[in-house]
Amino acid sequence: MTNDATLPHGGAALIGLDWGTSSLRAFRFDAAGQVQQMRHRPWGIMNLPAAADGQAHATPAAAFEHAFDDVCGDWLQAQTGTPVLACGMVGSAQGWREATYLEAPTSLDHLAQGLTVVQHAAGHQVHIVPGLLQRGELPNVMRGEETQVLGVMATSALPDDATVLIGLPGTHSKWVLARRRSIAQFHTFMTGEVFAALRGHTILGRTMQAAEAPDDAAFARGLQVARSEDASLGLLSHIFSTRTLGLTGALPGTAQADYLSGLLIGHEVAALAAQQAPGNPPAHVVLCGEPDLCRRYALALAAYGLPAPEMADNATARGLWQIATAAALVAPTDPRSTEAAR
């Protein structure tokens, strides 16, 4: 797979966009569902490029069109009529066009039937994947993760009716119960964002020092505190121990960030474990995200007696291809015989 300018031989069957808050990734698929090219730009929906003269665009739509042309305009010029499918925050109220939430539980087919179409000024049609809304006393939403989940399930060797717990760690971690073609339920934890806020904007960060390598012992200590006998004191009490252990010399500055990470992830996984049926943990767990972060979550899952997870990557690209196939934007391929994101 190439990363930028040169177009490989053969036409593009699909252009997929993973368009989030802070960045934009574009994938150029061939007819077998394999990614022949991938590009990355910093043009998230909150950081769109300025006009050619350096001024703001006349309309928000013009700014989105500029970013779109920058990342894949030459692909579309080389081959007109290539379908385009986008997922993520590009479909939010602050995005190019708001794509209505579908209610969970839902299926791949329902997502494919609910695409929102944006008409580019140059005539291109961009199809946007809807987000998901889970109603209840405390509603929950996702945009983009539904595509990742379907990508993870697309290459699973499990039976079609097998239920899988999929973890998507990150700024807003998601835990999703899914089957091959459907999403049943999900939970969200703001673990990554809270970690960044505590480290960068509270007194805890004043004594933290950069470490040369991850401190797994400090992380494990945080996990242990999160599941200790005084866990009933709650996360807010435990967080303060990051400071007191430092003040008493029990935790060096270089270990404090990893300890805080262990506390936060430990409380997240404890809450997740409490949601499982007593004595009946999920049979299959998959983690998909940044490798070192997934490694930490795997340690936390083991500490709470949950199954060792499988690791998945490139899930968004595979998910885009699955949705495009279900929406008849591209001809179907066998998801078990292609590695769509390689």
Place of tokens 């080389």: 78
- Model confidence over 69-123: pLDDT tens digits? 999 999 999 888 899 999 999 999 999 999 999 999 999 999 999 999 999 988 9
CA distances in angstroms from 275 to 229, 271, 306, listed in the order given: 19, 7, 12
pLDDT of 52 reads 84
pLDDT of 342 reads 39
- Rounded-to-integer distance, Cα 181 and Cα 48, Å: 34
Is the entire prediction scored with pTM above 0.85? yes
pLDDT of 339 reads 43
Task: Enter the tokens of residue 197.
Answer: 């806020």
Angular region, 105: left φ>0, alpha ψ -120 to 50, beta rest = beta
Task: Mark the ranges of the chain whose per-residue pLDDT is less than 70.
Answer: 1-10, 277-281, 334-342
Domains of the chain: 14-189+313-326 (3.30.420.300), 191-312 (3.30.420.310)
Which among 203, 154, 143 is positioned nearest to 178, based on CA atoms?
Answer: 154
Which among 261, 252, 259 is positioned nearest to 209, based on CA atoms?
Answer: 252
Classify strands 14-19 and 84-87 as parallel, antiparallel or unpaired: parallel
pLDDT of 236 reads 94
Q: Are 94 and 63 in contact (CB under 8 A)?
A: no
Half-sphere exposure of 167 (CA within 13 A, CB side): 30
Backbone torsions φ then ψ of 288, nearest 5 degrees? -140, 115
Which among 297, 324, 300 is positioned nearest to 31, based on CA atoms?
Answer: 324
